[in-house]
Amino acid sequence: MVDTKIFNNTKDAFILKTKKDLDRSLFIFKTMNIPFFVPLGIFFTKLSLKLNLPVEGLIKKTIFAQFCGGESLEDSMPIVKQMYEKNVKSVLDYSVEGKKTDEEFDKTAQVKIDIIKYASDHIEIPFAVAKPTGLGRFEIWQKITEKVELTAEEEKEWERVKARFEKVCKAAYDHDTDLLIDAEESWMQDAADELCEQMMAKYNQKRAIIYNTLQCYRWDRLTYVKEMHQRAQEGGYKLGFKVVRGAYMEKENNRAARKGYQTPICEDKEATDVNFNAVMCYCIDNIDDIAVFIGTHNEVSTYMAIQLMNQKGIDLDDSRIWFGQLYGMSDHISFNIGKECSNAIKLLPFGPIRDVIPYLMRRAQENSSVQGQTSRELALLLEEKQRREGQFVKRVE
């Protein structure tokens, strides 16, 4: 039985952080805790890039160092190996967003395949990850979702998108590396869901290799899982889901209000928590059919999952259940879970600084908008700083 107080252990949570790392993290979360700072920082970052001002060095030393592993796969490996020594594995994510051309999409697909091949030779990296709009224009995903008739050129474009998508999934199957497919905005998501389901039916015959992402701030996701579960049972294949709360709440609600349709988002955080926990528990209850990657920074949900696993006699290192957090956040969950079982994992983004800035801006927005997230990170970091200073005083005495 896991002690319910393990997440209070800041010594193990921040065991890899030097004093310099700890001070940098404190600075970043203090600034993100100031209400006006994040939108102001994003505005000036965009302006600086537009004017070609030399801001990349500052970004690299601050928010990039906090939330990214490096500018290349090789740059990221020292961090991967350090975390693995503490029983925390990694998902390497080439976090380049906002591309528009076939050449760029082809390059991204090849990078994903290269990561899959690399991961297959490294026990520290059991998963790879792909973002649908990294493989094709957002607008084409949206048109398919909204069932808009495509032009002849768009039909050809969509075929190329599907070919890239399957190429990446097939590489995951061929190299026996599990693949997480990210979820995005609801108005493009149906097209991604349909492709994911097709790939699961094809490649998840023996076990879950392809995982779709469920954003549980959407109130329809439990129904979706149950319906998909029935189809998978009838089709004789396994399901894989990455379960998260969601990343586009403000954008979703604003668009629904602007266009006059019912928002797909739960009415408040409490309803989202209930929905997340229900989806997560449904997956664990049906573990013989559904593998689950629990992507959460919420301690209560993590406790609940562990408790349910204990009740059902599921080992904490069962390969069908993973506990994942973003790099740079919730180390008190990742590293303390790592002490208890082998299935703790960090999502570790990497890429050229200028190319990952959209990801970093989104990360800052999400942190500042999630109630209590930044304050909790800050409190734990301060507690660890005080613990270390207290030890230093004792040594001096």
The CATH number that applies at residue 76 is: 3.20.20.220
Does residue 12 belong to any structural domain of this protein? no
Pick 276 or 62 by higher pLDDT.
276
Instruction: Indicate whether 389 belongs to any domain.
Output: no
In a domain, 349, yes or no: yes
> Residue 388: inside a domain, yes or no?
no
Structure confidence at residue 286 as a pLDDT band (50, 70, 90): very high
User: Does residue 380 form part of some domain?
Assistant: no
Which residue stretches of the chain are H helix? 10-13, 19-32, 37-50, 56-59, 65-67, 73-85, 102-120, 138-145, 152-174, 186-203, 221-235, 249-259, 269-285, 299-311, 331-340, 353-369, 373-396
The pLDDT score that the predictor gives to residue 394 is 53
Identify the pLDDT of residue 340.
Answer: 83
DSSP conformation class of 211: E
Q: What is the pLDDT of residue 250?
A: 84
pTM for this structure? 0.91
- In-domain check, residue 63: yes
Residues 115 and 107: their CA atoms lie apart, in Å, by 12
| Choice among 159-173, 329-343, 350-364 with the minimum mean pLDDT | 350-364
CA 207 to chain centroid: 21
Percent of the chain with pLDDT over 90: 74
**Position 261, amino acid:** Y
By percentage, how much of the chain surpasses pLDDT 70? 92
In a domain, 220, yes or no: yes
Distance CA 304, CA 72 (A): 36
- What are the pLDDT digits (tens) for 25-77? 999 888 887 777 767 777 767 777 677 777 778 888 988 899 999 999 999 99
Residue 239 amino acid letter: L
| Separation in Å, CA 142 to CA 137, 138, 158, 184 | 9, 6, 11, 11
Number of domains comprising the chain: 1
What pLDDT, on a 0 to 100 scale, did the predictor assign at position 53?
A: 75
> How confident is the prediction for the chain on average, in pLDDT?
90
Other C-beta atoms closer than 10 Å to the C-beta of 223 total 9
Model confidence at 376, pLDDT cuts 50, 70, 90, reads confident
Query: Which range of residues forms the domain containing residue 133?
Result: 46-372
Counted residue by residue, the chain has a size of: 397
Kindly state whether residue 23 falls inside one of the protein's structural domains. Answer: no
Asked whether residue 369 carries a pLDDT value surpassing 70, the answer given is: no
pLDDT at 299: 92
